[in-house]
Amino acid sequence: MILVTGATGHFGKATIDFLLKEGISANNISALVRDVTKAEDLKTKGINLKIGDYDNYASLVEAFKGVDKLLLVSGPDVVNRGKQQVNAVNAAKEVGVKHIIYTSFERKNDAETSPIAFLAKTHIETEKQIKASGMAYTILKNNLYLDTLPMFFGEQVLETGIFLPAGNTKSAFALRNDMAEAAANILTSQGHENKEYSLSNTENISLQEIAQDLTAIAGKQINYVSPPQEVYVDALTKANVPAEYIGMFSGFAEAIKQGEFSAKKTDLENLLGRKPTTAKAFLKEVYTSK
C-alpha cells in the first residue's frame, strides 16, 4: 500500500494522478486528508481516504497502518511544521512503514545565515529524524518550483516588468508536476532506498534570461530590475504588501542571488526518463494567453 500525505494539495494530488497513470490500482493508494469534503475528486477515483491530522498523533498511527511506502509531503504550516513532521515520522516508524519518501528542498547553505533559514530549519530537522528512524528513506531535494515565479513577479509583470532583488545568478528552477511525476516513479520502482535525489532542472537560468523569454512571448520589451533589498522592501511596504510576504519574497530573492538554487547536477532527468520542462516552455504556457 502506498500512502500520500498532503493529498489535497498540488504536489500530493499530482503524485496520485501519476501513480494511477503508472498502472497502480486505486485500491492500492491511500490519501491522508484532514477534511474529506475537500477530497471528493480523490474519492471519485477510488482512492482510499485516510483521515489524519499532523497535530493528532493517534490519527496518524491509525492512518499509516498497513502502509508499505509513505510519501511525506512537507506541510505548508512553516511555524508548526517541525513538530507535525516529527509526529508523522514517529507514527510511520511505530506501525512499521518500510520506506518513507520526503519532499525536502535544494540548497547550498544549511546554516542560520541562509536567507531562507526560516524555511530550511524544519526540513533539515525532518531529514535527520528520518535518517535516524531506521526506516528506508528517500530524500527529494526539490528545487524552487517554476510554478512560484508568477507569484514573485506579480500579476502585472507584462506591464511593469520583473522587479526582484535576485541579481544575475542562475537557478535550476523546475516544474512541480515534473517533481511529482518523479516521486510517483520512485514509489513504483525499486532501488531508491537510503538515497537523496536532486530534483532540479537540467538548465540553469537567470531572471534576466527569463525577462528575455517573456519579451519574446509577449512581443514587447519586458525589463528585469534587481534593486537593493532595502529599496525592494520599501516599495512593497508602500504597496501595502503584508510584512510576512515581504519577508518571504525578499528571502527567496536573496537565496536566488546567493546561488542556493543553482545546480551542477540533477537526478530529475533520469527519474523522469526525459528532459524536465524548461522555464521557457512553462512561461509560454502561463503567459501566452495574457
Residue 246 inside a domain? The answer is: no
* Residue labelled with grid coordinates 511529482: 180
Residue 72 inside a domain? The answer is: yes
Mean pLDDT in residue range 203-220 = 96
- Confidence (pTM): 0.92
Tell which wins on pLDDT, 106 or 228. 228
What pLDDT does residue 26 have?
Answer: 94
Mean pLDDT in residue range 26-51 = 91
Give yes or no for residue 220 having a pLDDT over 90: yes
pLDDT range class, residue 289, cuts 50, 70, 90: low
Residue 170 inside a domain? The answer is: no
Residues β-bridged to residue 22:
none
Residues β-bridged to residue 199:
142
As a whole-number percent, the residues of the chain with pLDDT over 90 amount to 78
What pLDDT does residue 262 have?
Answer: 94
Q: What is the DSSP string of 81-117?
A: HHHHHHHHHHHHHHHT-SEEEEEEE--S--STTSTTH
Which grid cell is 223?
Answer: 525589463
Tell which wins on pLDDT, 198 or 120. 198
Beta strands in the chain (DSSP E): 2-4, 29-33, 48-51, 69-72, 99-105, 136-142, 162-163, 195-199, 224-225
CA distance 120 to 102: 14
Burial of 221 (0-12, 13-18, 19+ CB in 10 A): exposed
Looking up residue 29, the CATH number of its domain turns out to be 3.40.50.720
Residue 253 inside a domain? The answer is: no
Range of the domain at 26: 2-142
Which phi and psi (to 5°) does residue 199 adopt?
Answer: -105, 75
Domain count for the chain, please give it: 1
What pLDDT does residue 108 have?
Answer: 77
Residue 280 inside a domain? The answer is: no
Mean pLDDT across the chain: 93
What pLDDT does residue 290 have?
Answer: 54
SS3 33: strand
Residue 195 inside a domain? The answer is: no
Residue 271 inside a domain? The answer is: no
pLDDT tens digits along 79-134? 778 788 899 999 999 999 999 999 999 887 776 777 777 777 888 899 999 999 99
